[in-house]
Amino acid sequence: MNDSQIVRPARNLRGTVTLPGDKSISHRYAMLSAIADGPSRLENYSTGADCASTLGCLRSLGVKWERKEAAANTVEMQGSGRVLTAPTRSLDCGNSGSTIRMLSGIVAGQKFSAEMAGDESLSRRPMERIITPLSAMGARIASQNGRPPLRITGGTLKAIDYKMPVASAQVKTCLLFAGLFAEGETRIEEPLRTRDHGEVALRAFGAQLDRIGNAVRIRGGQYLHGIETHIPGDLSSAAFFLCAAALFPGSQLTVPNLLMNPTRARLLDILMQMGLRISVTQLEEIHGELVGTLHVEGHRVKGATISGADTAALIDEIPVLAAIAPYTEKGIEVRDAKELRVKESDRIVSIATNLRGMGARVEELENGLKIPGGQQLHGCELDSFGDHRIAMAFSIAALRAQGETIIRGSECAAISYPDFFSTLEHLVER
Ligand code: S3P
């Protein structure tokens, strides 16, 4: 399948948009529900194909669940407890780095051997970041030169004290999950604070863990209970509409039930610094996650420099920020973003290629991008590079281009947000 999407220029963006459940939280809740004792009910579970990959792998590990799309995308799962069933075939992680990296922490604690594999893009992504610490805990892992497929032979794990060389919430979560199956106390230190959904979710399911500075500690042998919850809307999916609002000063957008976790919400600070008017109402905490209703008014936007801890905090939003950068007054510079090269595509190349295709000036750096502001782009035919965030980011750039834009391979948006294009059409005014 190779679909194309035509995106025509717009005049404005107005309305209310409800987002599917956050992808990072959906993965974690599904995995923890699977190893909990008792049932869980997860409403507004992500509709993305990545989170379906996690559910598929859990089924292959003997976990019983049912999906009720008509009832607010609810997943009802019966926890298997800490012991899963040996799969009879390879666990298919599809395109999902989160599935292979986080679930491997649970598989490593099982008394069987399992293969974890994925599509062509996943098969290119680096896994030594989980192989090294899981092997130190006692798991045996074979790989293709540090890439999937992985063959994990689990067993009784021992706790480790580990300093992560790469800032990655997927790796941190993988090791916290493995820590549940280890003898003793596992301590993980991250070089920068990354999203804390793993820690928040573990506490919601009844685990105890402590954080001291940039380190988290978890004791092995803890039992989890199930939860009933409504998953907050995905902020990284909302980012496309928020950045679209930034393109048109008359825009007005309301986003109810949106995830506002401080380790994820850096985008809101950056957009406000750039000039967008943002307010939040109805703030509440659900199972430790902050949720609220967001109101956004478009305004002329200045530009920004994103580096260091900001780059890590904004890693999934950089494609769309870069895609609107030429329309800002001063442009956007992204630094310290080496990780962008090992996402679903090499996002530095994908962004630079597509911006140039639309007639923009852009400088590709080894670890970032420099995109001058005050530019007018033209529509053209672009490639998604099979990367959901690139397909969606460039459909936003297309809204202010001259002429129409065709996005080839647009079906990959379904990896995180299957209804993205129809929702966007609903919100734009022409
Ligand atoms: C995620 C962490 C980030 C992010 C990914 C989701 C998570 O990846 O890019 O989309 O849910 O923990 P890294 O852990 O590789 O930084």
- Contacts with 430 (C-beta within 8 Å, 6 or more apart), sequence order: 8, 9, 10, 11
Query: Which three-class secondary structure state does DSSP give residue 15?
Result: strand
pLDDT, average across residues 131-138: 98
| pTM listed for this prediction | 0.98
316 an active-site residue?
A: yes
CA distance 107 to 149: 14
pLDDT of residue 71: 82
Residue nearest to atom 11 of ligand 1 (CA): 24
pLDDT of residue 409: 98
Query: Closest ligand 1 atom to the C-alpha of 23?
Result: 11
- Contacts with 422 (C-beta within 8 Å, 6 or more apart), sequence order: none
How remote is the CA of residue 303 from the centroid of ligand 1, in Å? 25
Please count the residues of the chain: 430
pLDDT, average across residues 112-126: 98
Categorize the per-residue pLDDT at 69 as very low, low, confident or very high, splitting at 50, 70 and 90: confident
pLDDT, one tens digit per residue, over 35-46 is 999 999 999 999
The answer to whether residue 21 scores a pLDDT higher than 90 is yes
The answer to whether residue 373 scores a pLDDT higher than 70 is yes
Residue of 23, 101, 170, 317 best suited for mutating to test ligand 1, as the one with most atoms within 8 Å of CB:
170
Residue of 100, 168, 266 best suited for mutating to test ligand 1, as the one with most atoms within 8 Å of CB:
168
- Contacts with 69 (C-beta within 8 Å, 6 or more apart), sequence order: none
Q: Is the peptide bond before 149 cis (omega within 30 degrees of 0)?
A: yes
Name the catalytic one among 316, 336, 383, 419: 316
pLDDT of residue 70: 85
**Percent of residues, the chain, with pLDDT higher than 70:** 100
pLDDT, average across residues 88-115: 98
Owner of token pair 């998604």: 384
How remote is the CA of residue 11 from the centroid of ligand 1, in Å? 34
pLDDT, one tens digit per residue, over 275-330 is 999 999 999 999 999 999 999 999 999 999 999 999 999 999 999 999 999 999 99
The answer to whether residue 238 scores a pLDDT higher than 80 is yes
pLDDT of residue 1: 60
- Are the C-beta atoms of 268 and 290 separated by less than 8 Å? no
Mean pLDDT, the chain, integer: 97
How remote is the CA of residue 74 from the centroid of ligand 1, in Å? 23
The answer to whether residue 147 scores a pLDDT higher than 70 is yes
Residue of 315, 340, 344 best suited for mutating to test ligand 1, as the one with most atoms within 8 Å of CB:
315
pLDDT of residue 200: 98
pLDDT, average across residues 175-183: 98
pLDDT of residue 2: 81
pLDDT, average across residues 58-82: 95
The answer to whether residue 154 scores a pLDDT higher than 80 is yes
The answer to whether residue 140 scores a pLDDT higher than 90 is yes
pLDDT, average across residues 170-188: 98
Sheet holding 228-230, edge to edge: 64-68, 74-78, 39-43, 228-230
The answer to whether residue 99 scores a pLDDT higher than 90 is yes
Is the C-beta atom of 316 inside 6 A of ligand 1? Answer: yes
The answer to whether residue 120 scores a pLDDT higher than 80 is yes
pLDDT, average across residues 209-225: 97
pLDDT, average across residues 244-273: 97
Is the C-beta atom of 95 inside 6 A of ligand 1? Answer: no
